[in-house]
Amino acid sequence: MKIRVLALSVITVAAGFGETSVSEPFFTTCSLAAGPPCVLQAAATRDGARKKLGTRDVVFDAPPGPWQQELQLKLYSGANAVVGHIDFPAGMQLSIESVSASATIPTGQTVRLSLTTSVRDSVATYFVPIVKQESKDGADWFLGANALRTYADGPALSILVTRPDLLGDATVRVVVSGILAYAQ
């Protein structure tokens, strides 16, 4: 079963640039004077081609079975939130079994991570605990892993990373794993 969906990660940042593991850095079209939030206007597909939001042109050929995906999100100085979307085929349902995360943020800051899913038009948000492990080279390192059983209907689930501070760059990697099945 081949389904066409957009393979992108949508980023909301205070202003300027954002980055995900799907592509190289991209530019948002908001001005610095506009203030937060500044929303992504274009994204790159898995092959690196730039596309406007709303196009659907990457083919997924994902049979049912074990599934995992890693997403890297970057908060640049001046941004306190970033949203990433993990795509999987429409018409499929993901049974999420685990979420793990690692974050590198400026020393003294905190970071929060949540996962938002939709099942049969019911939306729920799950918070993933991540705790500080060590401080090194001007950065604090956070790790978290959460075994859970929740579900997401395709074509995507959302990951939100927030921090109360705006100074310095922060990088967060999130891995979601589970079982992909045809939606019932």
**99-114 confidence digits (pLDDT tens):** 999 999 999 999 999 9
**Sign of the dihedral defined by the CA atoms of residues 117, 55, 47, 50, in that order:** negative
User: Tokens representing 153?
Assistant: 């209907």
CA–CA gap between residue 50 and residue 125 (Å, rounded) = 30
Return the domain boundaries, the chain.
Answer: 3-182
State the CB neighbour count (10 A cutoff) for residue 55.
Answer: 14
Average pLDDT over residues 119-125: 94
Direct distance between the N- and C-terminal alpha carbons of the chain, in angstroms, rounded to an integer: 16
Tokens 């604090």 label which residue? 140
pLDDT tens-digit readout, 58-101? 344 568 999 999 999 999 999 999 999 999 888 899 999 999 99
Each residue of 10-46: pLDDT tens digit? 333 333 344 444 433 333 333 334 444 434 333 333 3
The predicted structure's pLDDT at residue 76: 96
pLDDT of residue 88: 87
The per-residue pLDDT for 89 is 85
* Token pair for 21: 């593991």
Return the pLDDT at 154. Answer: 84
CB 136 within 8 A of CB 165: no
pLDDT computed for residue 62 by the predictor: 67
